[in-house]
Amino acid sequence: MQTGQDAAAIFVERWNEAASFEQTGTCPVRNVLDKIGDKWSMLIVMYLAAGPKRFNQLHREIPDISQKMLTQTLRDLQRDGLVARQVFDTKPPSVEYRLTTLGHSLIVPFGHLIDWANQSIPSINKARAVFDAAS
Amino acid sequence: MQTGQDAAAIFVERWNEAASFEQTGTCPVRNVLDKIGDKWSMLIVMYLAAGPKRFNQLHREIPDISQKMLTQTLRDLQRDGLVARQVFDTKPPSVEYRLTTLGHSLIVPFGHLIDWANQSIPSINKARAVFDAAS
DNA sequence: CGGTATCCAACCTGATACTG
DNA sequence: CAGTATCAGGTTGGATACCG
């Protein structure tokens, strides 16, 4: 690893740091990253960040999501403890989804990422234009 | 949007904030998120964070990556301006990859995400165990 | 050394139809 | 209202072989 020419080298360690790696057989960081990259997970989390919402309310608000993917993504988020599901015994039945404390806590680091993205889009688009022009 | 019961509601705005959305037809934030969720992009960025590396050096250091995906991911990172590619006219030829300034800047918000992941893994695993036990 | 090219299996997602 | 079930398409990634 040479001399500490760049403190950023520790990030590779951080990646594999979690102790459960050997236990589960899959990298724990991957689990989180897969959710970030997932087409709908983070969008749903952000819509729920505004407050609890019911199933069809989310369905109406989120553009283009299919019922299948809304159901599936919500279940995955619930399984990971990021979203809580509460059924009200009304007729017809209503189901409310809300972020858990853990779910809310994800918004902080994720927000930094979104900010980076919005700040960097111009640079990225410019780099792409240059690269594509040279090929 | 009711009253500002939760400041986090602004994240939905941030998601769609970038002006280039209408121009390109694809959400700019998605571009970045896709890279985060990509199987190899961020791992490569983190290995390069330690300093410039040559192609086969990365190939040896990164576990399980195929030559195809290493080539492809590096080209995508280069296209987006996150990685710079430098060819040295030696024999046999050698090619060095290094993070650009933009690439380095991504490590900051991304690092926060990794830290959140490592801190939250225990909670997530516990939530999964509870959820799976109930089904 | 540093790639390309081709094939292929697995996965992810959307569309559609149906249910308590 | 809030889902489930089934099928089809596109995309992703790995294996393998070849090239300057």
Q: Are B67 and B101 found together in one domain?
A: yes
Pairwise CB contact (< 8 Å): B46 & A105: no
Q: Are B63 and B11 found together in one domain?
A: no
Identify residue A57 by its one-letter amino acid code: Q
Q: Are B32 and B52 found together in one domain?
A: no
Q: Are A2 and A64 found together in one domain?
A: no
Q: Are B1 and B65 found together in one domain?
A: no
CATH label of the domain that carries residue A118 = 1.10.10.10
Q: How many domains does chain B have?
A: 2
Q: Are A93 and A50 found together in one domain?
A: yes
Q: Are A54 and A96 found together in one domain?
A: yes
pLDDT at A28: 79
Chain A interface disruption, residue of B39, B62, B124, most A CBs within 10 A: B124
Low-confidence ranges of chain A (pLDDT < 50): 1-8
Residue ranges making up the domain that contains B17: 1-36
A14-20 contacts at long range (C-beta below 8 A, 24 or more positions apart): A14/B111, A14/B114, A14/B115, A14/B118, A15/B43, A15/B46, A15/B114, A17/B118, A18/B117, A18/B118, A18/B121, A20/B121, A20/B122, A20/B125
Q: Give strand letter and number of the nucleotide nearest B55 (CA to C1').
A: C2
Confidence of residue B135 (pLDDT cuts 50, 70, 90): confident
Q: Are A60 and A8 found together in one domain?
A: no
Instruction: Please name the helix (run of DSSP H) or strand (run of DSSP E) that holds residue A68, with its range, or none.
Output: helix A67-79
pLDDT digits (tens, 9 = 90+) for A24-61: 556 778 899 999 999 999 999 999 999 999 999 999 99
Q: Are B23 and B54 found together in one domain?
A: no
Residue B27 CB neighbour total at 10 angstroms: 17
Q: Are A57 and A12 found together in one domain?
A: no
Q: Are A109 and A76 found together in one domain?
A: yes
Q: Are A19 and A66 found together in one domain?
A: no
| Average pLDDT value over all residues in chain B | 86
pLDDT digits (tens, 9 = 90+) for B70-118: 999 999 999 999 999 999 999 889 999 999 999 999 999 999 999 999 8
Identify residue A122 by its one-letter amino acid code: P
Cβ contacts of residue A76 below 8 Å, gap of 6+? A35, A41
Q: Which residue of B has its CA nearest to A11?
A: B46
